[in-house]
Chains A and B, each alone.
Chain A
């Protein structure tokens, strides 16, 4: 079980949170993007080994979304930061 530090509520148990997938995926303009760009937006994810920027929702707590950097190898959280901010540590490519 992971302990995740909500930016507002502090450290809480993983069972209070919902995972939101990879962070920093920008929605392309549907008017100008082609099918390939749209498919990448919808379906393609990085699947990195190492530090991964991802979204979490404190579903049973304050219900806020936030970003986190987690190591996909050992599950250790390296940072939490607000939606709209850049990752405070360098993430794997």
Chain B
């Protein structure tokens, strides 16, 4: 098991614009998420069916989409690669179930729970804040819940996921070693939104 606790640089902290009343956007770390990297061939029906049986839903084959099942999210990362997210306390069980179900398949299953941390960016200015650092079009018309994208944010590689349709809200998965830098960058960028 790897460490997947809160990031020491900003554990429990919240960044928010200081607009009177409702802040335009706020950022906080969401901890306690287990992350598994899953690789396999999408044209291998044995692999796809066995993975779907464990995960409760078929792995997405449409680029940059997410498949949901109960508490499990499967993000498309590449034609042969997915990122499975679940509660941290379910991670070890899920990883073992995948290893058992895919034992006969050509696959790779890796625990990345300690690799990424998740920043939740929420508020009516969330897309505007993201647009300051990423070239990706994050407008809800083209980037809505059910989609995900790997992109770059202020030179740091990230995975972005819109979460709620009614409120502007994004999960940003960032490498733990970049998280302190990205947090400070967001803090600085938010000052311009006040």
Residues of A within 8 A of B77 (CB): 62
Residues of A within 8 A of B81 (CB): 62
Interface residues on A, range: 10 to 19
B129 CB to closest chain A CB, in angstroms?
18
Is B12 an interface residue, CB under 8 A from the partner?
Answer: no
Please encode chain B, from 122 to 138, with 1 for each CB lying within 8 Å of some chain A CB and 0 for all others. Answer: 00000000000001100
Question: Is there contact, CB below 8 Å, between A16 and B151?
Answer: yes
The stretch from A5-13, A32-40, A70-78 touching chain B is A5-13
What number of A-B contacts does a CB cutoff of 8 Å give?
36
A11 CB to closest chain B CB, in angstroms?
9
Closest to B78 in A: A62
Contact A64 B79, CB 8 Å, known A9-B63, A10-B63, A13-B135: yes
Please encode chain A, from 1 to 25, with 1 for each CB lying within 8 Å of some chain B CB and 0 for all others. Answer: 1000000111011011000000000
Cβ contact of B150, chosen from A1, A10, A13, A60, cutoff 8 A: A60
Contact A64 B78, CB 8 Å, known A10-B63, A12-B151, A16-B152: yes
A4 CB to closest chain B CB, in angstroms?
11
Question: In the complex, A87→B88 CA distance in Å?
Answer: 46
Closest to A64 in B: B78
Question: In the complex, A64→B81 CA distance in Å?
Answer: 11
Residues of A within 8 A of B157 (CB): 60
Question: Is there contact, CB below 8 Å, between A8 and B79?
Answer: yes
Closest to B79 in A: A8
Question: Is there contact, CB below 8 Å, between A15 and B152?
Answer: yes
Is A63 an interface residue, CB under 8 A from the partner?
Answer: yes
Question: In the complex, A44→B77 CA distance in Å?
Answer: 35
Closest to B134 in A: A13
Is B57 an interface residue, CB under 8 A from the partner?
Answer: no
Question: In the complex, A60→B151 CA distance in Å?
Answer: 5
Residues of A within 8 A of B151 (CB): 12, 16, 60-61
Question: In the complex, A9→B75 CA distance in Å?
Answer: 13
Closest to A13 in B: B135
A-B contact pairs, 21 of them (CB 8 A): A8-B78, A8-B79, A9-B150, A10-B64, A12-B135, A12-B136, A12-B151, A15-B135, A16-B135, A16-B151, A16-B152, A60-B150, A60-B157, A61-B149, A61-B150, A62-B77, A62-B78, A62-B81, A63-B78, A64-B78, A64-B79
B interface residues with partner A (beta carbon < 8 Å): 63-64, 77-79, 81, 135-136, 149-152, 157
8 nearest CB pairs, A to B: A13-B135, A62-B78, A60-B152, A8-B63, A61-B150, A60-B157, A9-B63, A15-B135
